[in-house]
Structure 1
């Protein structure tokens, strides 16, 4: 990873490994919030020369530590090579980037060191930075010097005033401001072995609202405290498989870094660096994965999605009443409607996933108050599924892009070439994706189960009738799905039906998501499980998005042969739900082997679909890292290793533990469920796994299956 990135709430910084942001870089480095780049240049020189990087790392996802030294400098203030150390430490807290530059003189004599910082802000919209969109934008009004800092100001065409405020604690020797930003110069005289520090604050200011500034020491203490509290309140897992423990803890840290609050509770944004915004599908799936570890994140996600639920028909945004958004952007182009992303609704699966998350969250937490509050949103989402989602009146939920700047394919495989027939022809809309029908089935049956079981609804005639209606609709959908999607020659399901109701027979991972829905008959579920771990789909490191041998297969494509950990995790949920423990172990062991080879031992957004005989898995060139639903994949392993299934109607947790190769001991502590927590140990002896419940305050009984 040739960049450094840190994030807190909705402010993030991405730089090169030296900590610089160079104007001519193609990577889009900068300091961003509200889809706007507030810092577009930050270049540090020592005695006029660019320093050499010794090490560059991000500790626990929130503190960037970069150690630099000087090259040999013969002109001006001479410096012997590697005689000065410069340590740049950065973190973000409550809307401010804090930076400390610590300079140490390792010469055996006194030395004058000049530190220059070139600073600029272009206030470019994220879409412009990434080359996706041009448009009418505002203009910068230049830089100005203040008593203890400089400000660079911008007036947007959206009538939003934006400024970058750079402040310091230690006064520099010189400051020069211009329309090109500012140059800040420190002249530092150091004795042999002496160190000194420069403390800076980079503050994005929107409409003259200034975040509260703290000392560097106070801010980092508070930030560290929040991470410590996050870990303490998490389900804690340990095993004798050292890599799994690292993967799990890395996932916890990654998710914490990706949390954002728009005023409705914490929820995970999609990923860094370019998707640090709310995404319906990504945020919902990540929250679903997080249920055993941090169920409260699901509540924040549900509340955020409900706030932006579609209200009207707007083809520019692909919006319909009751629909859950795809993506929310807040930059200048979105604010002025030059791009349809405030928010954009071009997703076919977020709406049923919203309902699934509500149902599963309430099961896990007994938060009946949230369910009651969400009843109007649930009804509107179901109305969208039954009306707007059923574009071709086929009884299946389909999609068809209306927006001129919308997304062509609106399932999770949203690249333009991802739904392809075996003859190489791309499917034409309206398209019905296999997994989406499973989501709809699961959404309706889950909501129906809660209506039948929860008080006071279980004694309410109207709610009982509503529940029965949802069950009937779900069963009819299952019958229709079986008839139209099953491909007997493959012993598998088509990934989709196209606009002519033709099967897209290409073998893909999409039908693997059906297993978690409970929609399939046992013999069909077994066929799906077998196919997922077959040679064509399973690479050895994970389930591919498309099977090797298909005409559209490409192991280095985004969606047609790569491996996505979150895709595998949804398949794992289903394999566990249907009792296919052997197949689940195969997938889990593949992902563990893959994760061990990646930087920071972190599962990336995706990786190439080559088989294990090619060596370590190949990284995908532009994969997000960290990425929310990849970071949360190890949390699904907990459910799978415990063989955990919930029966809400009788409030029983069934366990059937299985452990991957290399693990004989597993301890799970403070797994939150119902009104309390569950502590469980699993031991393997003579290839058999047994569990021991050490504590159970959940209000649920424990059984085996």
Structure 2
């Protein structure tokens, strides 16, 4: 299915390219909130026939416009409608929990015409897990549908004792209404237009949305996007592809924001992961810090609110652990799936600490750190106790939940942790990148605690990090491959497959320069680098497959974390090569949108069939790449900024405006001149001293 999706807050609409929700489609189109489908059918017909699509725009995530026309319609007795007599425009958007669907019909027939148009609706209230085929179980009961001349309401009594309803209202008098269908008769002269607006309101318990005038709702929505754009860091270059990548990334991040009461945070992606998602939300917020640092604050508070409190094997919950994924549907509420929330993730807890320390480095906001200090302590305790279940100094995972996830790193498919001989690794499993996250979290926290006067705690964390680094070198380095192992398995044997995972360790500055160089060389070798991106697994490995979800495909976010690490470790030229690959492939995808992942073929842009789009950490990839291009690493607590620009081929000029750092903003311009990059500081109100490292261009 080629789909169209729009979202605002916690409500999203997934349709086909015509704008319809076809009944019983296997892909699961519909109107969703709280993991429940509140519309399972919505189709438009003209005289009971499906219109012909002319254009279907999806360049905006918050509004969709579809243009159609009528087919030729006649009977043996009469002409009903000449082909292409009617222009049909469907415009839909979401505001304050209401989906607005505007149908505008314009006649281009030379004489007055009369025709009918119909809208068909159904609501099955299915749980997301059932729609996706992951789970079946006890469900509730569909009740009587209320119908009047101005509204239709579907009702459902859930197995979780929650009443749900879908209320549909319209603003014109119909020719008829019956359960699931509304018909209108239109009489139009040439160039005359008729518009009907539907307001579709999901209701959960006592939570009810009230529609307002559609034009006012749309203006309020547009105003919120204008405010977002005006207050977001602006990037402009001489390269149109890169400019479009940045705009697409910023716009996609905006539509993926949701607020559970603790501030806005990015959900993982659409259509199936519009929920709080530990590692995805944390990494996306990390990518977004140079553009919107306050999103990190909302993300941290949201994750802290659900930090593990007890030992609960059903949900893989442990005290101090940060959640993996939270669901709100009928099956979760009745305990038929463990996602309330589910905690089966090994990396969300150290990533929580990393996001907090990154946020403090950019903003100097110690108030938030003080607010979350107890959460920090509990997270550190989890890392050192439950996280290190065999007390070998490494953080490892092991699934306990019967309906949980077996592999609990970011490569969480069942075949992703595989030995060089093709055998799957057995748990508990210690992943390379997770040790890097822990090391960086502890060293970064140590520097904050020094600033707070807690020298003893700072020294303790630094000592633990130093021991971890030494143990990592001893246990993960594979001398015969000049590279680090993907993981250690349950026998503490190396999982020696060559993968992208060790690339994440670069930003931790955990390994010595000579070995960091060997990581970089491998990542940009023909085995790992396709020309368009760094693969998840090297060609030639037993598990390699260019179309496997985690074993040979290319994930933009994976590349962005590696690229930032290259920049931080002073491999600027190599970072630029990887960035150029992503720039080269972007135009191959619709609206220059980097997808969740794509296939790992050599210099070929081959789509992965079920990649989420938009996906938060894919949207954040060009944003993090911008930070890497600038070599920009602030330390607001110590009032310093490191700046070391190196632009990839194709970009000769880059301007940054209104980048929030510390208590002010930074505006800079970078230009390629002869054999180096010149940096002009246009404005610096941050109160920080800037140290600029001049880079030589190729």
TM-score by length of 2: 0.98
- Mapping 1:492-503, distance limit 5 Å: 492-503=483-494
CA distance in 1, matches of 2:11, 2:360: 31
Match of 1:350 among 337, 345, 348: 348
Q: Which residue of structure 2 lines up, in the alignment, with residue 598 of structure 1?
A: 589
Q: Does the alignment pair 1:621 with 2:621? A: no
CA contact (8 A) 1:241 1:662 kept: yes
Q: Any unmatched runs of 5+ in structure 2?
A: 694-698
Q: Displacement of 1:648 after TM fit?
A: 5.2
Q: Which residue of structure 1 lines up, in the alignment, with residue 220 of structure 2?
A: 222
Match of 2:82 among 77, 80, 83: 80
Q: Displacement of 1:132 after TM fit?
A: 0.8
CA distance in 2, matches of 1:700, 1:8: 37
CA distance in 2, matches of 1:590, 1:113: 53
Match of 2:104 among 102, 123, 133: 102
Look up the SS of the partner of 2:2 in the other structure. coil
CA distance in 2, matches of 1:643, 1:305: 29
CA distance in 2, matches of 1:702, 1:382: 32
CA distance in 2, matches of 1:32, 1:235: 31
Q: CA offsets, 1:226-279, max 9 Å, x none? A: 001111111101111011001100111100000000100000000011110010
Q: Displacement of 1:72 after TM fit?
A: 1.0
Look up the SS of the partner of 1:548 in the other structure. coil
CA distance in 1, matches of 2:87, 2:636: 60
CA distance in 1, matches of 2:60, 2:2: 18
CA contact (8 A) 2:360 2:637 kept: no
Q: Does the alignment pair 1:20 with 2:11? A: no
Query: Compared with structure 1, are the counterparts of its residues 59 and 599 closer, same or farther at alpha carbon in structure 2 (3 Å cutoff)?
Result: closer
CA distance in 2, matches of 1:645, 1:262: 31
CA contact (8 A) 2:249 2:620 kept: yes
Match of 1:428 among 426, 429, 432: 426
Q: Which residue of structure 2 lines up, in the alignment, with residue 157 of structure 1?
A: 159
CA contact (8 A) 1:59 1:65 kept: no
Match of 1:142 among 144, 158, 161: 144
Q: Which residue of structure 2 lines up, in the alignment, with residue 117 of structure 1?
A: 119
Q: Which residue of structure 2 lines up, in the alignment, with residue 505 of structure 1?
A: 496
Q: Which residue of structure 1 lines up, in the alignment, with residue 171 of structure 2?
A: 169
Match of 1:586 among 577, 580, 591: 577
CA distance in 2, matches of 1:481, 1:277: 34
CA distance in 2, matches of 1:523, 1:100: 61
Look up the SS of the partner of 2:588 in the other structure. coil
Give the ranges of 4+ consecutive aligned residues of structure 1 lying more than 4 Å apart after TM superposition: none
Q: Displacement of 1:148 after TM fit?
A: 2.2
Query: Compared with structure 1, are the counterparts of its residues 216 and 649 closer, same or farther at alpha carbon in structure 2 (3 Å cutoff)?
Result: closer
Look up the SS of the partner of 1:78 in the other structure. strand
Look up the SS of the partner of 2:550 in the other structure. coil
Q: Which residue of structure 1 lines up, in the alignment, with residue 640 of structure 2?
A: 652
Q: Which residue of structure 2 lines up, in the alignment, with residue 379 of structure 1?
A: 377
CA distance in 2, matches of 1:367, 1:648: 9
Look up the SS of the partner of 2:400 in the other structure. coil
Q: CA offsets, 1:399-453, max 9 Å, x none? A: 0000110001000000000000010000000000000000000111111110112
CA distance in 1, matches of 2:562, 2:619: 16
Q: Displacement of 1:662 after TM fit?
A: 1.4
Q: CA offsets, 1:56-101, max 9 Å, x none? A: 1124211110111111111387111111111100000010000110
CA distance in 1, matches of 2:522, 2:428: 27
Q: Which residue of structure 1 lines up, in the alignment, with residue 457 of structure 2?
A: 466
Q: CA offsets, 1:109-128, max 9 Å, x none? A: 11112011111100000000
Q: CA offsets, 1:311-347, max 9 Å, x none? A: 0000000000000000000000000000000100000
Look up the SS of the partner of 2:622 in the other structure. helix
Q: Which residue of structure 1 lines up, in the alignment, with residue 662 of structure 2?
A: 674
- Mapping 1:471-482, distance limit 5 Å: 471-482=462-473
Q: Which residue of structure 2 lines up, in the alignment, with residue 340 of structure 1?
A: 338
Q: Displacement of 1:646 after TM fit?
A: 2.8
Q: Any unmatched runs of 5+ in structure 1?
A: none
Look up the SS of the partner of 1:297 in the other structure. helix
CA distance in 1, matches of 2:58, 2:104: 17
Q: Displacement of 1:649 after TM fit?
A: 6.1
Q: Displacement of 1:522 after TM fit?
A: 1.4
Q: Which residue of structure 2 lines up, in the alignment, with residue 212 of structure 1?
A: 210
Look up the SS of the partner of 1:142 in the other structure. coil
Q: Which residue of structure 2 lines up, in the alignment, with residue 309 of structure 1?
A: 307
CA contact (8 A) 1:608 1:617 kept: yes
Look up the SS of the partner of 2:665 in the other structure. strand
Match of 1:571 among 544, 562, 573: 562
CA distance in 1, matches of 2:137, 2:683: 59
Q: Which residue of structure 2 lines up, in the alignment, with residue 702 of structure 1?
A: 690
CA contact (8 A) 2:148 2:177 kept: no
Q: CA offsets, 1:658-678, max 9 Å, x none? A: 111111111100111000000
Q: Which residue of structure 2 lines up, in the alignment, with residue 328 of structure 1?
A: 326
- Mapping 1:286-305, distance limit 5 Å: 286-305=284-303
Look up the SS of the partner of 2:6 in the other structure. strand
CA distance in 1, matches of 2:600, 2:118: 46
CA contact (8 A) 1:269 1:278 kept: yes
Match of 1:197 among 179, 182, 195: 195
CA distance in 2, matches of 1:162, 1:156: 7
CA distance in 1, matches of 2:344, 2:286: 21
Moved more, 645-654 or 355-364: 645-654
Q: Does the alignment pair 1:4 with 2:22? A: no
Q: Which residue of structure 2 lines up, in the alignment, with residue 415 of structure 1?
A: 413
CA contact (8 A) 1:52 1:70 kept: yes
CA distance in 2, matches of 1:25, 1:578: 49
Query: Compared with structure 1, are the counterparts of its residues 217 and 518 closer, same or farther at alpha carbon in structure 2 (3 Å cutoff)?
Result: same
Q: Displacement of 1:394 after TM fit?
A: 1.3
Query: Compared with structure 1, are the counterparts of its residues 647 and 262 closer, same or farther at alpha carbon in structure 2 (3 Å cutoff)?
Result: closer
CA distance in 2, matches of 1:146, 1:187: 17
Query: Compared with structure 1, are the counterparts of its residues 649 and 298 closer, same or farther at alpha carbon in structure 2 (3 Å cutoff)?
Result: closer
Moved more, 203-212 or 28-37: 203-212
Q: Does the alignment pair 1:536 with 2:527? A: yes
Look up the SS of the partner of 2:456 in the other structure. helix
- Mapping 1:681-700, distance limit 5 Å: 681-700=669-688
CA distance in 2, matches of 1:77, 1:366: 72
Q: Displacement of 1:533 after TM fit?
A: 0.7
CA distance in 1, matches of 2:173, 2:142: 26
Q: Displacement of 1:651 after TM fit?
A: 2.3
CA contact (8 A) 2:57 2:64 kept: yes
Look up the SS of the partner of 1:97 in the other structure. strand
Q: Which residue of structure 2 lines up, in the alignment, with residue 611 of structure 1?
A: 602
Look up the SS of the partner of 1:641 in the other structure. helix
CA distance in 2, matches of 1:53, 1:147: 29
Moved more, 651-660 or 568-577: 651-660
CA distance in 2, matches of 1:162, 1:35: 12
CA contact (8 A) 1:77 1:112 kept: no
Q: CA offsets, 1:596-636, max 9 Å, x none? A: 21110111100000111xxx410111111110000011111
